[in-house]
């Protein structure tokens, strides 16, 4: 799985890795007993979207490793994934981290998802990817939800990092939206040259850099 996700793979001590461990315990116990007890999510505080994307990646990697038994394994895991995902979405911690759904916010997110260019919302203080659209996931070679919370510089070419962060810091200090060229790297480490625009968006608690990037070359679909 780590080979597929590249920099988006969770660290061994992360809450998302703990969630994957609990799913493995939950699923293996259910398959051995022939019935599934409610999954244990006590004390687990994770980003739902990222965790579910990582869970999909884990299932995909497991079915590939199972070779000719992969289809059977995938069919057996599907209802267990659905049960685990439902428990995660309805847990107290899961609801708290997800926040209260708002129609306006969902409408904006839907519009961003439909644009063809890659969209990334970067937390300029933490340096992490806070949101992304499917086009960004395709550009970087992973499902977009797996990018959430990942250090942004993991997907920026080393030679381009200083220039990009200088531009984004300037946005936080009130500069106008900027247009520039830069280079990302995908999950496999291949460079992706882009034309980008960035603008700042300040909330009560943080400042986000909203980056829209258009690759200069073709991007293979996920």
For 102-160, how does the pLDDT look when each residue is reduced to its tens digit (9 = 90+)?
Answer: 444 454 566 678 888 999 999 988 999 999 999 999 999 999 999 999 999 999 999 99
The CATH number given to whatever domain includes residue 167 is: 3.30.450.20
Residue 220 lies in a domain: no
Domain boundary among 59, 82, 98: 98
Same domain, 114 and 199: yes
Same domain, 61 and 109: no
Q: Which residues contact 106 (CB under 8 A, 6 or more apart)?
A: none
Residue 105 exposed, middle or buried by CB count within 10 Å (0-12, 13-18, 19+): exposed
Facing residues of 33 across strands?
none
Q: Enumerate helices (H) and strands (E) in the chain, giving the number of each.
A: 8, 5
Same domain, 112 and 188: yes
Same domain, 187 and 116: yes
Chain mean pLDDT for the chain: 87
Locus of tokens 């850099």: 209
Average pLDDT over residues 28-32: 92
DSSP for 147-205 reads GTTSBGGGGB-HHHHHHHHHHHHHHHTTPPPEEEEEEEE-TTS-EEEEEEEEEEEE-SS
Residue 221 lies in a domain: no
pLDDT digits (tens, 9 = 90+) for 33-45: 988 889 999 999 9
Domain boundary among 64, 98, 132: 98
Same domain, 112 and 93: no
Residue 188 lies in a domain: yes
Domain boundary among 98, 128, 151: 98
- What is the pTM (predicted TM-score) of this model? 0.78
Same domain, 130 and 164: yes
For residue 173, what pLDDT band results from cuts at 50, 70 and 90?
confident
Specify the pLDDT at position 19.
95
The number of folded domains in the chain is 2
Rounded to whole angstroms, the Cα distance separating 134 from 182 reads: 20
Question: Which residues form the domain of 89?
Answer: 2-98
Specify the pLDDT at position 203.
79
Same domain, 31 and 70: yes
Residue 151 exposed, middle or buried by CB count within 10 Å (0-12, 13-18, 19+): middle
Same domain, 89 and 107: no
Same domain, 12 and 90: yes
Residue 222 lies in a domain: no
């Amino acid at each position: 799985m780590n080979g597929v996700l590249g920099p988006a793979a969770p660290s061994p001590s992360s809450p998302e890795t703990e969630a994957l461990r609990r799913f493995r315990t939950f699923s293996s116990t259910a398959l051995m007993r022939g019935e599934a007890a409610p999954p244990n999510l006590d004390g687990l505080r994770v980003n739902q979207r990222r965790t579910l994307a990582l869970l999909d990646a884990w299932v995909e990697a497991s079915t590939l490793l199972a070779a000719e038994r992969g289809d059977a394994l995938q069919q057996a895991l599907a209802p267990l994934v659905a049960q685990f995902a439902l428990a995660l979405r309805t847990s107290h911690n899961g609801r708290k981290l997800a926040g209260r759904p708002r129609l306006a916010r969902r409408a904006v997110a839907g519009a961003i998802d439909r644009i063809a260019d890659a969209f990334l919302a970067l937390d300029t203080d933490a340096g992490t990817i806070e949101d992304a659209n499917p086009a960004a996931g395709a550009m970087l070679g992973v499902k977009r939800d797996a990018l959430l919370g990942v250090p942004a510089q993991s997907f920026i070419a080393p030679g381009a990092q200083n220039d990009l962060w200088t531009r984004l810091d300037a946005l936080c200090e009130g500069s106008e939206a900027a247009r520039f060229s830069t280079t990302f790297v995908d999950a496999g480490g291949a460079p992706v040259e882009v034309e980008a625009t960035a603008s700042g968006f300040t909330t009560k608690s943080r400042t986000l850099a909203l980056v829209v990037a258009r690759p200069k070359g073709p991007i293979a679909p996920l």
